[in-house]
Amino acid sequence: MKAGSDIEKIDSGFAREVASASGADLFACYQCEKCTNGCPVTFAMDYGPHQIIRMLQLGLSEELAHANTPWVCASCETCFTRCPQQIEIPELMDHLKHRVLRQGEKPVEGVIAAFHEAFLDNIRRFGRINETVLITAFQLRSAKAGKGFDAKEAFRNLKLGLGMLKRGRLAFVPKKTGGKEAVRNLFEKKD
Ligand code: SF4
Ligand code: SF4
């Protein structure tokens, strides 16, 4: 967070907590909308990034817990690059996603959340992506998330996976990485 922030002046415990945990200086935002105008996925979002910041400033925690925006965010960093105040919106979106998961609430975008969790679990276990395990874990988690088991999609993925295996683009046995412990430690540090 930048020095001289007005954060202490705002009477919103929720906003203060999110700002401090995510490192995003929420109260430096003056609603210019440059973030939202550059975001490539606003068409699929309930609220644009600038609206999410405003909702945070106002302490609308309930509405934020049910917004799909953090789940739809692709972490492309366009908003951060365009923001005149250098507000770290991608980190903010990540924080909001983890907050929902930590509180045991059901994510509004169950399938995206299933991928998010399968992806992070994969990195935590192997220190790098193992696509074969990731695809299988995602298939199982998304079925559990309410989508149900889609036999057609599973068959399509299996066919695709076999083709990739044949071309050496997938590995059954995870490749070893020297930084496995370091990666695990990063997960331990994450709030
Ligand atoms: S670009 Fe930055 S200052 Fe402008 S609305 Fe977005 S977050 Fe706020
Ligand atoms: S990081 Fe997320 S919110 Fe920001 S521009 Fe990319 S998709 Fe949009």
Which residues have C-beta within 8 Å of that of residue 30, sequence separation ≥ 6?
Answer: 85
87 close to ligand 1 (CB < 6 Angstrom): yes
What's this model's pTM, rounded to 2 decimal places?
A: 0.77
Atom in ligand 1 nearest the alpha carbon of residue 33:
5
Q: How many CA atoms lie within 13 A of 141 on its CB side?
A: 21
53 close to ligand 1 (CB < 6 Angstrom): yes
| Smallest CA separation from ligand 1 atom 1, residue | 83
32 close to ligand 2 (CB < 6 Angstrom): no
155 close to ligand 1 (CB < 6 Angstrom): no
78 close to ligand 2 (CB < 6 Angstrom): yes
pLDDT in tens, 89-98: 999 999 999 8
pLDDT in tens, 134-186: 888 888 888 877 666 777 877 887 888 888 888 887 777 767 777 888 888 88
pLDDT of res. 4: 44
* Residues 191, 189: Cα–Cα separation, whole Å: 6
pLDDT band at 188 (very low <50, low <70, confident <90, very high): confident
CATH topology of domain 7-102: Fumarate Reductase Iron-sulfur Protein; Chain B, domain 2 (1.10.1060)
* Residues 46, 72: Cα–Cα separation, whole Å: 9
For 35-52, what is the mean pLDDT?
97
pLDDT of res. 3: 43
pLDDT of res. 186: 84
pLDDT of res. 16: 84
Contact 95, 21 (CB under 8 A): yes
| Smallest CA separation from ligand 2 atom 4, residue | 79
90 close to ligand 2 (CB < 6 Angstrom): yes
Query: Which listed ligand is nearest to 93 at the C-alpha?
Result: 2
Domain limits, CATH 1.10.1060.10, in the chain:
7-102
pLDDT of res. 43: 96
How buried is 9 (Cβ within 10 angstroms: 0-12 exposed, 13-18 middle, 19+ buried)? exposed
